[in-house]
Structure 1
Amino acid sequence: MTPFNTLLEVVKHCDKFPYTIDPQSTEEQHHATPVYLGRHKIGNILPHVLPALTEYNNKTEPAPFVINKDSITFASWVTTAELRTTVMKQLMDTWRANKTFKVLAGWRNELYPVYGDSEQEGNIAFVMERAATPLFGISTFGVHINAFTRDENGHILMWVARRAKTKQTWPGLLDNCVAGGISYSYSVKDTMIKECDEEASIPAALASKAHSVDVISYYTYTDGGLQPETQYIYDLELPKDFTPTPCDGEVGCFYLWPLEKVKETILKNEWKPNCALVAINFMMRHSFITPDDEPDYIHISYRLHRRLEFPTVRKGHSS
């Protein structure tokens, strides 16, 4: 893992989808085809995904999509959230069965909501398998919890997770104490409490004391596809005598580190990229990183709060 020279480099390593599209670039991120639902852009499809979608669409009767040079939409007969959900399920089931894309090997049987239908409760346009969302560049949402305590001098010590080596994504890297995606029908707070229990054995009575403090957003990509993401951030000060304990096998172990160690390991590139951003945000909010000692302070803040162009939840993340 190549180390970073600055924290701004850390942020750019995650928030790396181009801000300005260059049609002359050879990188495929500059040549994504937008997916629309009515007037809303709900995703982007990279050039390497488009041939498989076109082939599927041509073989399916009636065709579920309208694929043009500059846009992709659902066909005119796909008029409801239920039909969109069915269309996406049939497509992804086919691709998974045919092993069309490696990212689908990480199938989770976990549904994520896709937003953009104001006629539906919560603005939900349809739901789809979590592992498949990068193939359509769907904007997803999650919750990250910074768990911490204080030493006898009042200095913050952060609980840091080491991802299990058996994890399908980013195995063995450092992570926030608790984090998880917001599945269909779960609220933000319900997700936070559920993940605290599942990943760190933090009981609901203690997890419910967490404070909602911020939201960060960024637009990244991996070999699996495009990932515009928004993370709700919570801070949870744990009692000094409480130790998080791995529960569901996703975490190998937990460390209790001073913020100096947290920053050091971030610059050494030992963290899952988006989780490093959550930790940087924590250190800024708790004045460990300040405008006077961090020359890129403003630019880091901008990049932690990227304005994404996709529809968002309305009236909560519930069905």
Structure 2
Amino acid sequence: MGKSKRNTPKPGGNRAQRLAERKVAQEQAAQSVVRPFEGLAAECDLVALREFVPSATATLKLSADVAAERSVVLSTVLPGAVAALVRAGEQPVGYVGVQVQTQSEDPASDIAASILWTQSAEPGDSLTAASIAPGGPRLADVIDPGADLELTVHQDFDWWVPEGVQPDPQVAATIEQAKQAIMPSARLDLGPDAVGAAWWVDAGEKAHIRWVRPEDEDALMLALARLHAAGALQLGEGSRFAGSFRTHGLLVPVFDLDPERHPDEWVDAAKEFGAKLTAAVAVDAPLTAEERRSRDGLRSRQVTLR
């Protein structure tokens, strides 16, 4: 009997295609900027705004080297997830989104290009995708690298429409639909000495704190392992360490929380934990056997966002 066609080896085209796709993926990974916002005082908040904050804005402090014609508002997401737009008015204002439809391997350069675009675009224009030139300005060249973001956290998207303007029915329906999907969020105010950016979110059955940290990933993982082995990897009663994820070259610990408590009720516990974590990062002694087991367990629960 002849062999079934299903079991007959196929020409090597599929294998060649898989190898080609793998090569493309490897080249893209090699070109991507691992830590795009490194060196910026607002690095941790920029990562948070790109990855999980639903609705927030901040007026940027532009670099002295930029001939600023109008102010620029950094936004989590703009209508249609466009890269930027210029809002018409007596004083036109540029808006730049960080959660966009199309992006390059260097999101910091995308944002820089979008900021510069807002300075010459006509009021009412929008930019679907940023266009960056090789060797072009990076974000640290366009904004003040030492400035923190003065954030306004919104629980809706009403800011998509200028105050006093009545949106047309289609826009109003889009805003209402987005509002229904939003999860209440807040940035914890942990004081001027706090490290990183701790963001609270009410996800329904549980609340979470996602704490974007600026330390080297490996050093932070070791510190988390030390605290875990000591039984100190939590924010007190009603909290539980849920795991961590890696994104934009940073490690983000995540805690599950009692959703009945207001975000401000976690501030004191977060400050205490933050001090312990910073101290643990500074320890350079080898891990104990128990700490190594903790590290291995924590790594097994870690995911990477791309």
Q: TM-score range by the shorter chain?
A: under 0.3
Higher relative contact order (Cα pairs below 8 Å, separated by 6+ residues): 1
Q: Please, what TM-score do these two structures have when normalized by structure 1?
A: 0.23
Q: Please, what TM-score do these two structures have when normalized by structure 2?
A: 0.24
The structure carrying a bigger strand percent of its residues is 1
Larger Rg: 2
